[in-house]
Amino acid sequence: MIEEHDHEYRSGIGTDIHRFAEGRKLMLGGVLIEHPFGLAGHSDGDVALHAVIDALLGAACMGDIGTIFPDSDEQYKDADSKGLLLDIKERLEEERWVIVNVDLTIQAEQPRLENIKPQIKRCIASLLGIDFTAMNVKAKTNEGLGEVGQGQAIAATEIALLKRKYKRTL
Q: List residues near Zn ion by CB under 5 A.
A: 16, 50
Which CB sits closer to Zn ion, 48 or 139? 48
Q: How far is the CB of 98 from Zn ion (least distance, A)?
A: 25
Q: Which of 73, 137, 141 is nearest to 112 (CA)?
A: 141
Q: How far is the CB of 86 from Zn ion (least distance, A)?
A: 16
Q: 23-62 as b/e, with b when 16 or more CB fall inside 10 Å?
A: ebebbbbbbebeeebbbebbbbbbbbbbbbbbbbbbbbeb
Which CB sits closer to Zn ion, 16 or 109? 16
Can you tell me whether residue 8 is helix, strand or coil?
Answer: strand
Q: Give the whole-angstrom CA distance, residue 142 versus residue 75.
A: 34
Phi and psi at 142, nearest 5°, equal -115, 25
Which CB sits closer to Zn ion, 50 or 82? 50
**Nearest position to Zn ion, beta carbon:** 50
Q: How far is the CB of 8 from Zn ion (least distance, A)?
A: 29
Q: Give the whole-angstrom CA distance, residue 43 versus residue 74.
A: 10
Q: How far is the CB of 133 from Zn ion (least distance, A)?
A: 27
Q: Is residue 103 within a helix (H) or strand (E), and if so which, with residue range?
A: strand 98-107
Which CB sits closer to Zn ion, 16 or 158? 16
Which CB sits closer to Zn ion, 50 or 121? 50
Q: How far is the CB of 81 from Zn ion (least distance, A)?
A: 8
